[in-house]
Structure 1
Amino acid sequence: MLVVRDLHAYYGKSHILQGVDLSISAGEVVSLLGRNGVGRSTTVKAIMGEVPPQGTIRFKGQEIAGLPSHKIARLGLGYVPEHRDIFPGLTVRQNLLLGIKNTRRPGKWRLQDMLDMFPNLAARADTPAGVLSGGEKQMLTTCRTLMGDPELIMIDEPTEGLAPLIVQQVGDLIAHIAKAGVAILLVEQKLSIALRISHRVYIMGHGRIVFEGTPDELRANEAVRKEWLEV
């Protein structure tokens, strides 16, 4: 479904991505792991067109490198950014409805589905989104992206700064999305969540992929964990 080959990206003169290769099949959950600053967030931004990419990015067989973000989104690629963008002056319900890309064709996810999954959001459906907690904003941002009916969703650091109970809820949401058949590229710091829900994992180091394998293969590879993940 998504194939990335020899992906490079720069911030000014800084060469951040230095030949990234990765792929995700339909319905697959893949986690992108690594320490802060190695290029994980830049990878998803480059795929989404928020950072100018150099290399090959093919989504459902179509080359998307260089396309504007809104056109990439309309092809069925969803993106939940790390900074949890919401419209604080609009209600939770209005934020969710803004995620719909095609009002003429109903998708897999309805507004009521989102509210049923998260009673907290349902209770605040008509409340301005700006008053939500950090965990609620993460859920709202993810659910709003789902309202656009993506075939693949990229989620960047969804548990950053959240309380343990909310971390568990966010992990359950991601697992629920996967069960619905949506492919997922998850950028995550917490190894426990990534290993619990992923089919495969990639580890980044110094702007490149340094490991690819199953969760079991990563669990068994202490040397890789020590070199590229542990502080």
Structure 2
Amino acid sequence: MLQVRNLNAYYGKSHVIDGIDLDVEAGQIVSLMGRNGAGRSTTIKAIMGLVQADGSIRFGDMELLGLEPHQIAHCGVGYVPENRDIFPSLSVRNNLLLGVKSGRGKGRWSPEDAYDLFPVLRERADTAAGFLSGGEQQMLAMCRTLMGDPDLVMVDEPTEGLAPLMVAKVKELLLEIARRGASILLVEQKLTIAPEISERLYVMGHGRIVFSGTPAELEADHALRREWMEV
């Protein structure tokens, strides 16, 4: 589904991502891990067309590199940034409705699905989103992206700063997304939920992929985890 080849990304003259390859197959959950500053967030921003990049990013039979972010979204790619980017002055309901893409038929997700999965969103449907807790805002941000019925969902650090109960809810939602047929590219720093739900893991260091394999293979590679992941 997603095939990244020789991807380079830049902030001005700074070469941040250095020739990485990455694949996400249809229906897979794949995680991109590593320490802060390794280039994980920049990688998904490059896929979304938000930073200067070169190489190749193929999504199905389409080349995404060179497209604008809104065009990439309409190709079926959803993106949940680390800062969530909800509209704090708008109600929960209106935040969800903003995620619906015009011109697309009935998809896999509706606001009612979001309310069923997270009843607190139903209870606060008319509340300004800025009054939600951090965990509730994360749920809203992810559900808003799903309203566009993406075939690939990229989620940047969804568990950062969340209490264990909310982390469990994030995990539940990611698994439900996969059950409904969408692929997931998950950016995570900690070994919290990624090894439990991912079919494949990539570890980044200094803008390069330093490991690609299964959760079991990463678990067994103590030296790599010590060098590239542990604080």
Give the TM-score taking structure 2 as reference length.
0.98
> Given the superposition, is the C-alpha separation of residues 111 and 103 from structure 1 closer, same or farther in structure 2, using an over 3 Å criterion?
farther
| Structure 1 position 20 matched with structure 2 position 17 | no
User: Contact conserved, 1:52 with 1:66, CA < 8 A, in 2?
Assistant: no
CA displacement 1:116-165 (0-9 Å, x = unmatched): 00011111011111101111111100000000000000000001111121
| Structure 1 position 34 matched with structure 2 position 73 | no
Q: Specify the SS of the correspondent of 1:191.
A: coil
User: Contact conserved, 1:3 with 1:59, CA < 8 A, in 2?
Assistant: yes
Pairing of 1:61-72 with structure 2 (within 5 A): 61-72=61-72
User: Contact conserved, 1:93 with 1:126, CA < 8 A, in 2?
Assistant: yes
In structure 1, how many angstroms separate the alpha carbons of the residues matched to 2:86 and 2:113?
Answer: 19
Question: Match of 2:51, as an amino acid?
Answer: V
| Structure 1 position 215 matched with structure 2 position 193 | no
In structure 2, how many angstroms separate the alpha carbons of the residues matched to 1:126 and 1:195?
Answer: 37
Deviates more, 1:102-111 or 1:163-172: 102-111
Aligned twin of 2:190? 190
In structure 2, how many angstroms separate the alpha carbons of the residues matched to 1:167 and 1:26?
Answer: 25
| Structure 1 position 44 matched with structure 2 position 48 | no
In structure 1, how many angstroms separate the alpha carbons of the residues matched to 2:71 and 2:195?
Answer: 32
Aligned twin of 1:116? 116
Q: CA deviation at 1:23?
A: 0.6
Unaligned runs of 5+ residues in structure 1 are none
User: Contact conserved, 2:18 with 2:207, CA < 8 A, in 1?
Assistant: yes
| Structure 1 position 158 matched with structure 2 position 158 | yes
In structure 1, how many angstroms separate the alpha carbons of the residues matched to 2:169 and 2:104?
Answer: 32
Q: May I ask how many residue pairs the two structures share in their alignment?
A: 231
In structure 2, how many angstroms separate the alpha carbons of the residues matched to 1:47 and 1:96?
Answer: 23
Question: Match of 2:179, as an amino acid?
Answer: K
Q: CA deviation at 1:103?
A: 5.5
Pairing of 1:138-149 with structure 2 (within 5 A): 138-149=138-149
In structure 1, how many angstroms separate the alpha carbons of the residues matched to 2:104 and 2:221?
Answer: 49
| Structure 1 position 228 matched with structure 2 position 224 | no
Aligned twin of 2:60? 60
Q: CA deviation at 1:192?
A: 2.5
Identity %: 64
In structure 1, how many angstroms separate the alpha carbons of the residues matched to 2:129 and 2:99?
Answer: 14
Aligned twin of 1:137? 137
In structure 2, how many angstroms separate the alpha carbons of the residues matched to 1:217 and 1:16?
Answer: 27
> Given the superposition, is the C-alpha separation of residues 13 and 64 from structure 1 closer, same or farther in structure 2, using an over 3 Å criterion?
same
Unaligned runs of 5+ residues in structure 2 are none
Q: CA deviation at 1:220?
A: 1.1
In structure 1, how many angstroms separate the alpha carbons of the residues matched to 2:118 and 2:69?
Answer: 28
Q: Specify the SS of the correspondent of 1:145.
A: helix
Q: Specify the SS of the correspondent of 1:66.
A: coil
In structure 2, how many angstroms separate the alpha carbons of the residues matched to 1:4 and 1:54?
Answer: 11
In structure 1, how many angstroms separate the alpha carbons of the residues matched to 2:174 and 2:104?
Answer: 27
Q: CA deviation at 1:104?
A: 5.5
Question: Match of 1:36, as an amino acid?
Answer: N
In structure 2, how many angstroms separate the alpha carbons of the residues matched to 1:120 and 1:173?
Answer: 14
> Given the superposition, is the C-alpha separation of residues 104 and 221 from structure 1 closer, same or farther in structure 2, using an over 3 Å criterion?
closer
CA displacement 1:88-128 (0-9 Å, x = unmatched): 11110111011110355111101100100001111101111
> Following superposition, which runs of at least 4 residues in structure 1 exceed 3 angstroms of deviation?
none
